Structure formats: structure tokens, C-alpha cells
Homo-oligomer: A and B are copies of this chain.
Amino acid sequence: MLDLNRLKALHAVHVYGSVGAAAEALMVTPSAVSQQIAKLERETGARLIERNGRGVRLTDAAGLLAEHAERILALVETAEADFEALRGEVVGRLNVAAFPTAARGLMPPALAELRERHPDLWMQLYEREPERMLREVARGELDLVVVQDWLNRPMAIPEGLSRKTLIDDIADVAVPLDHPLAGNKEIQLSALRDERWIASSPGTICHDWLVFTLRSAEIEPEIAYMADEYPTHLALVAAGLGCSIVPRLGRDPVPDNVRLIPLRPRQTRRIYALWRTDAARRPAIRATVEALGRASALQENAWASEPELQVS
């Protein structure tokens, strides 16, 4: 492949008209330039330069090559300039993941904001369960993940990861409209001892949250139905087949004959953004964490302003 330094020498001779002038421009001796071009001739097998009186003249082939060299060198300079401009900016590609409700409730506004403010940032969003996210972010397969834990049973954060608390998600109880407690403004967990429950599949956080919340009131839930999609949960609740515990984050619109009632005391899970500490050098990571923080604050304000969700 053509060598850039030789091309540079040839180009300089083309531009400055003599070996000596080219050498001066390149800050080397004429001999160096002469030898570079001689090597280029040997490598390509073509005559490039011929003596012309006291000076030299480029052949047609050399002229062509010099013009190409001009474009190539210009491109290299462009690359340098772009590179400089890049440093410290929010660009590149980010692989982010969140568990399902956060992916629906938190990511879309954050992604929209980032898209708006940083058009050169490419984000790819995945939906994942927490353990897998943890593994993948630690390995660098994902750049940033949104995970959750329960306040009284915090998750172990692997070495080398940083986190930022985004929001405390709140659990409400979904009951059929004809349920005895459906008129309540709030419900205590202990009042739910004899209900039948609708849960997600074991191994999902939604399942775990249900079981964990009830166990914290020493209730071993009787799980009557399992369904992974929340709209299915709510349809089952609407049909009077049981109750469900439903997080607020990413919650779909609720059917008319289902009531969502705040628990007392509040049952919350804390939601975090997690990323490799090293990777935080990337402005893109920092910008995304901040955008998630803003999206979370907006969400919390929205909840605070809905009176029927308040717990006295």
C-alpha cells in the first residue's frame, strides 16, 4: 500500500516546485525527500521525477499521485479536526437496558430528551431482568442499566460499578370494583391476608415484588394465576379472579372495573442507574444518567400531584 510519508514528500515537491523547497517545508534535508521519492519509485515501479536542468520535474504519473495525495492529506486533516472536536462531547453509541416497567416508564422521556439534545448519540435500549443486566454492565456488554431493589434488602453492587438513585417506585393494590375494600382510600397489607393473587412468572421482578411485599407482612401469598403482561393482570383482576400488586412506574391505563389503592405504609422499591465507573469518563454516560435523573424527577412530581394516589 502507498506510504503516506512518501506521498507527502511527493506532494510537497509538486507544490513547492523543487526538492529543496519541499525539504524546507517538511523540515528535513533535501536528501531525505529525494530518497523518499526514490523509494516510492522503486515500490511502484514507475518513474516519478526527472531531472530538469538544475531542478526536477514530476512525471504525469507523479502529478496524478500528488493530486490524490492532496485529497488524502486533506482527509487526514479533517479526521484530526473531527477528532479534536469530538473530545468532551456527547457522541457515540450507548447500549442501555432496563427492566420492563422502567423501560416503559423511565426510558422513553429520557431517550427523547437525549435524542433532542445530542443528535450524534446513538442509543440502543434493551429490556432485561436485573441479574442479567448486572452481569452485562459489569462486562461492558451494556454501558448503562436501570435496576431496582427493595429498600430493606439492598442489592449487592459489583466492584467497579457506580450508581445513582433515580426514583422510589410505589406499589398499589389492584382490586375488583366489587371488592369489599374497593372503596378504601388506602389499604394495610394485613387486610389482604386471605386474598388470592395474580402474579407474573417466577424469576421476574414483578413476581418477586409481590411475594416480597406480602411476606414483609407475614403473608404467604396464594398465587391463583400467573401472567406476564400487566394488562392481563388487570383483566384477571377485573374478572374478580384475584388481586395484584402493581408498580406505578410504566403502569398502563387501568380498566374501569379495577381500583388501584395505595398501600399503607408505602411499599417501595428503589430504582438505580448503574454503569461502570471507568466508563463514566464518557460524556455520553454522564449525560444519560442526568437525563434519567430528570425523567425520574418529572415522574415523581406527576405522582405527587395525583390526589387519589396519596397515602395519608
Contact = CB atoms under 8 A, between A and B. Distances in A.
A60 B139 contact: no
Contacts of A188: none
Nearest to A47: B281
Contacts of A116: none
Interface in A239-292: 278, 281-282, 284
Given A50-B278, A68-B83, 13 more contacts: A1-B80, A2-B76, A4-B4, A46-B83, A47-B281, A53-B139, A60-B86, A60-B93, A63-B92, A71-B79, A72-B72, A72-B79, A75-B75
A69 B60 contact: no
B69 A79 contact: yes
Leading 8 A-B pairs by shortest Cβ distance: A60-B92, A68-B79, A4-B4, A52-B140, A72-B75, A53-B139, A2-B76, A64-B86
A50 B140 CA distance: 10
Interface class of chain A by DSSP: helix
A75 B83 contact: no
Interface residues of A, number: 44
Given A59-B282, A60-B282, A83 B53 contact: no
Interface string A52-75: 110001011101110011011101
A218 interface: no
Contact of A79 (B2, B76, B93, B281): B2
A82 interface: yes
A4 B78 CA distance: 14
A299 to B, nearest CB: 29
Interface in A77-104: 77-80, 82-83, 86-87, 91-93
A185 to B, nearest CB: 51
Nearest to A282: B60
Contacts of A73: 1
Contact of A87 (B61, B86, B140): B61
A120 interface: yes
